[in-house]
């Protein structure tokens, strides 16, 4: 399976705030969003975590994904 970095805050392969396309899944790498009072009401299954990424990286990734899917 090819991993495609749609957007990243880093110019290296081990940077943070990355959005990666892995087949039909989007993988998000960011800082764990634990201990934030504003997220206390969000229920997360035991095997999952919430990760925070910058809005800029998220929007760049969405635009790149649309481009790759051939959408305007």
pLDDT in tens, 26-66: 999 998 888 888 988 999 899 999 999 999 999 999 999 99
Distance of alpha carbon 16 from alpha carbon 20, whole angstroms: 11
| pLDDT score of 56 | 93
Q: Is the pTM of this model over 0.85?
A: no
Residue tagged 């960011």 (tokens): 30
- Quote the strand ranges of the chain, DSSP E: 3-8, 18-22, 25-29, 31-32, 51-52
Q: Which two tokens stand for residue 14?
A: 């081990």
């Amino acid at each position: 399976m090819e991993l495609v970095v749609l957007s990243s805050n880093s110019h290296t392969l081990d940077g943070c705030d990355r959005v990666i396309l892995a087949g039909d899944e989007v993988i998000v790498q960011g800082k764990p969003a634990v201990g934030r009072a504003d997220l206390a009401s969000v229920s997360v299954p035991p095997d999952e975590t919430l990760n925070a990424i910058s809005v800029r990286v998220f929007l760049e990734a969405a635009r790149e994904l649309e481009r790759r899917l051939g959408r305007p």
